């Protein structure tokens, strides 16, 4: 049992605690420390009166001043949105392929699209838009569903093979592992691997397999079809890997990549800004517009006239102007 006593050396009462013969003195706290502590208690009481502080079931006390950092941020965002409203209206007032004809509008679209890309697309396509296995590279000139700016906008707006949007782009490669033997799949994989080197897609026994099972979608020349998302097999650009094991796996199981629709989440102005940004990264296709359809009709039909322009850009540049919305790109 601990006992308090007066220390013989200092004349100070002990706390009664003893560790290996060392006793703890019961010295009073420094006066400056006590006054500092009392001041912090007083400050806390005043703070809870004037500012949001105590959590409640569905919120918190608002304080008599009604101020919060969250509200301050919301006001700043609203102010920025107001300043950008003219550009948003500009994006909706012209056909998407004509955005590039207005230098100021194009610059806004690219800067806004860069922020949208970082927030929503970089997770799959990479911060530099170079993609990865199963996620298309947006910097090259190889496009599964077409690389014209209106094609890109449609893909962003509706997505690919998702169950949320009835206008999503859709195609499906069969799982040939259920139809062909392992030997046939191995031979077909070697044949496909040789196509970028100039091999005839229809030559030899493997060419016959190609003609019977693959040419319907990829074409007799193996150069694909962007209308159905069938990739070009002659350009040495491989979405799921170029080694034999990867090609055999692709042929056997028939990969089924999915991209969500972003049109409803982002809004049409942001979709167009993102399309303009992705298109100018370096691989977007140029083309003449199909028609001069009114922009409101395009939005309603989910189709935007064709056209393109390139200005260059870096999706990982931290100095690009921020944009308070979100989006995603696609190949």
In this structure, the answer to whether residues 243 and 274 fall within a common structural domain is no
pLDDT of the residue at 297: 40
pLDDT of the residue at 284: 84
Q: CATH code at 141?
A: 1.10.760.10
In this structure, the answer to whether residues 182 and 164 fall within a common structural domain is no
Please tell me the least confidently modeled range out of 15-24, 94-103, 131-140, 181-190. 15-24
Q: 146 — alpha (psi -120 to 50), left (phi > 0) or beta?
A: left
In this structure, the answer to whether residues 262 and 249 fall within a common structural domain is no
pLDDT of the residue at 115: 95
Question: Residue 64 above 60 pLDDT?
Answer: yes
* Residue 230: inside a domain: yes
Output the DSSP codes for 265-283: HH-HHHHHHHHHHHHTTTT
Question: Mind listing the pLDDT tens digit for each residue in 156-205?
Answer: 999 999 999 999 999 999 999 999 999 999 999 999 999 999 999 999 99
Identify the domain containing residue 101 by its residue range.
97-172+256-292
Q: Which residue has the higher pLDDT, 294 or 88?
A: 88
pLDDT of the residue at 113: 96
Question: Residue 323 above 80 pLDDT?
Answer: no
In this structure, the answer to whether residues 149 and 264 fall within a common structural domain is yes
In this structure, the answer to whether residues 305 and 239 fall within a common structural domain is yes
Question: Residue 17 above 60 pLDDT?
Answer: yes
Under 8 Å between Cβ of 200 and 194: no
pLDDT of the residue at 328: 37
* Residue 184: inside a domain: yes
Residues 6+ apart with CB under 8 A from 323: 84, 111, 112, 113, 114, 115, 116, 273
Give 288's pLDDT tier (boundaries 50, 70, 90).
low
What does pLDDT average to over the chain?
85
In this structure, the answer to whether residues 153 and 266 fall within a common structural domain is yes
* Residue 55: inside a domain: no
Give the H or E element holding residue 24: strand 22-25
* Residue 285: inside a domain: yes
pTM over 0.75: no
Residue-level length of the chain: 331
In this structure, the answer to whether residues 244 and 262 fall within a common structural domain is no
pLDDT of the residue at 327: 36
* Residue 28: inside a domain: no
* Residue 138: inside a domain: yes
Give 304's pLDDT tier (boundaries 50, 70, 90).
very low
Tally of domains within the chain:
2
In this structure, the answer to whether residues 116 and 145 fall within a common structural domain is yes
Neighbouring-strand partners of residue 6 = 13
Question: Residue 29 above 60 pLDDT?
Answer: yes
In this structure, the answer to whether residues 274 and 128 fall within a common structural domain is yes
Give 8's pLDDT tier (boundaries 50, 70, 90).
confident
In this structure, the answer to whether residues 232 and 201 fall within a common structural domain is yes
Give 309's pLDDT tier (boundaries 50, 70, 90).
very low
Give 62's pLDDT tier (boundaries 50, 70, 90).
confident
pLDDT of the residue at 213: 96
- Segment 86-114 mean pLDDT: 94
Closest CA to 278 of 96, 104, 132, 134: 96
Residues 6+ apart with CB under 8 A from 231: 142, 144, 218, 224, 237, 239
* Residue 42: inside a domain: no
Closest CA to 160 of 142, 134, 139: 134
- Segment 304-324 mean pLDDT: 38
pLDDT of the residue at 2: 63
Under 8 Å between Cβ of 99 and 93: no
* Residue 261: inside a domain: yes
In this structure, the answer to whether residues 167 and 315 fall within a common structural domain is no
In this structure, the answer to whether residues 133 and 167 fall within a common structural domain is yes
């Amino acid at each position: 049992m601990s006992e308090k006593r007066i220390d013989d050396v200092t004349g100070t009462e002990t706390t009664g605690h003893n560790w290996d013969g060392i006793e703890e003195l019961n010295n009073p706290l420094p006066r400056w420390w006590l006054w500092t502590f009392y001041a912090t208690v007083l400050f806390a009481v005043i703070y809870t009166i004037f500012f949001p502080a105590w959590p409640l079931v569905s919120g918190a006390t608002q304080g008599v001043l009604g101020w919060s950092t969250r509200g301050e941020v919301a006001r700043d965002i609203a102010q920025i949105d107001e300043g950008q409203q003219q550009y948003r209206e500009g994006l909706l007032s012209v056909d998407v392929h004509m955005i590039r004809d207005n230098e100021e509008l194009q610059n806004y679209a690219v800067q806004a699209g860069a922020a949208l890309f970082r927030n929503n697309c970089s997770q799959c396509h990479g911060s530099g838009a170079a993609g990865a296995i199963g996620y298309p590279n947006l910097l090259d000139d190889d496009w599964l569903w077409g690389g014209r700016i209106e094609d890109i906008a449609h893909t962003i707006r509706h997505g690919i093979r998702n169950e949320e949007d009835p206008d999503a782009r859709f195609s499906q490669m069969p799982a040939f592992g259920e139809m062909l033997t392992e030997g046939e799949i191995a031979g077909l994989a070697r044949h496909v691997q040789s196509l970028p080197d100039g091999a005839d897609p229809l030559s030899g026994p493997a060419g016959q397999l190609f003609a019977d099972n693959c040419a319907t979608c990829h074409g007799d020349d193996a150069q694909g079809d962007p209308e159905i998302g069938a990739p070009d097999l002659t350009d040495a650009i491989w979405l799921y890997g170029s080694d034999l094991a990867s090609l055999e796996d692709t042929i056997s199981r028939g990969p089924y990549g999915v991209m969500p629709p972003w049109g409803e989440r982002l809004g049409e102005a942001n979709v167009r800004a993102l399309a303009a940004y992705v298109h100018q990264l370096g691989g977007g296709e140029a083309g003449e517009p199909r028609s001069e359809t009114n922009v409101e009709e395009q939005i309603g039909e989910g189709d935007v006239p064709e056209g393109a322009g390139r200005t260059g850009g870096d999706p990982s540049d931290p100095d690009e102007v921020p944009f308070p919305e979100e989006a995603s790109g696609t190949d």
